[in-house]
Amino acid sequence: MQWSWLFVFVVFAFVGCGTSKPVSVEGFEVLTATGATTADGEEWQLPSRLTLAVGVDNQGAKVRLSDCRLRVSYRGRRVLMIWTEQKVTIPAKSSSRIVVPLRLAIARNSQSLPLQQALSRKDLSEVTLDWEFKASRGLAGRRIEQSGVAASEVLSATQQEQLWKMLE
């Protein structure tokens, strides 16, 4: 599936939330993909709703994520927006599988097709990510935001290789 690369961005941006003990992603699986969203006049089609099962290892306290948004940009123009449909809870001191319902939207701009082409060339050099979410433990919570981060900084070399394999 050509759109599978999105899940790598989503999982690492939303789950790695800066808790005192890091939450690590052990893998993910697409449970459902429904609907369709397309860029005007282009062949790039993505599902508009996704449900992911994400394997996580959390050796710290329970973490709740809410108001999660990830924006993927190419050459400074936003191309994709991905957001959660509900709060996500990562259980404390466990390895578990969490279900994450997502919504996707493609911006109808001149960079949609160039982004798809760059990914098919295995080129993340002009792909940037912005994300924001609220991470809460108990009664304490904080909003975490990051803008203009190069996708190559977010994804390790191993994760980039996984991305390229998914795109083949």
Q: Which residues are CB-neighbours of 41 under 8 A, at least 6 positions away?
A: none
pLDDT exceeds cutoff 90 at 42: no
Give pLDDT, residue 25.
Answer: 75
CA distance 146 to 9: 13
Q: What does the pLDDT look like over 157-166, one tens digit per residue?
A: 877 876 776 5
Q: What does the pLDDT look like over 52-86, one tens digit per residue?
A: 888 888 888 898 999 999 999 999 999 889 899 89
Give pLDDT, residue 99.
Answer: 92
Phi/psi at 13 (5° precision): -75, -40
Rg for the chain, CA atoms, rounded: 16
Q: What does the pLDDT look like over 107-160, one tens digit per residue?
A: 877 777 888 888 889 999 999 999 998 988 888 888 989 999 998 888 778 778
Strands (DSSP E) contained in the chain are 23-34, 37-38, 45-46, 49-58, 63-74, 77-84, 88-90, 94-106, 127-137, 140-150
CA distance 157 to 115: 20
Signed CA dihedral, 71, 73, 79, 80: sign only? negative
Domain extents in the chain: 2-167
- Model pTM score: 0.74
* Predicted confidence band of residue 43 (pLDDT cuts 50, 70, 90): low
Q: Which residues are CB-neighbours of 99 under 8 A, at least 6 positions away?
A: 31, 51, 52, 53, 54
